[in-house]
Amino acid sequence: MSETKRAAIVTGGSRGIGQAVCLALAEQGVNVVVNYAGSAAAAEETAALCREKGVEAIAVQASVADAAQVDALFEKAVETFGKVDILVNNAGITKDNLIVRISEEDFDAVLDTNLKGAFLCCKKAARIMMRQRWGRIVNISSVVGLRGNPGQTNYSASKAGVIGLTKSLARELSSRHVTVNAVAPGFIDTDMTRVLPEAARTAILSQVPLGTFGQPEDVARAVAFFAAEESGYLTGQVLCVDGGMAM
pLDDT classification of 1: cutoffs 50, 70, 90:
very low
Which residues are designated catalytic?
155
- Give the pLDDT confidence score for residue 34 in this predicted structure: 98
Q: What is the pLDDT of residues 59-99, one digit of tens each?
A: 999 999 999 999 999 999 999 999 999 999 999 999 999 99
CB-based contacts of 91, cutoff 8 Å, min separation 6: 11, 12, 18, 35, 37, 64, 113, 114, 117
Q: What is the pLDDT of residues 95-111, one digit of tens each?
A: 999 999 999 999 999 99
Give the integer Cα–Cα distance in Å for 156 and 163. Answer: 11
- Give the pLDDT confidence score for residue 194 in this predicted structure: 81
User: 181 in helix, strand or coil?
Assistant: strand
Give the integer Cα–Cα distance in Å for 162 and 136. Answer: 16
Q: What is the pLDDT of residues 193-234, one digit of tens each?
A: 787 788 888 988 999 999 999 999 999 999 999 999 999 999
- Per-residue pLDDT for 13 more than 70? yes
Domains of the chain by residue range: 7-241
Top CATH class of 7-241 equals: alpha beta
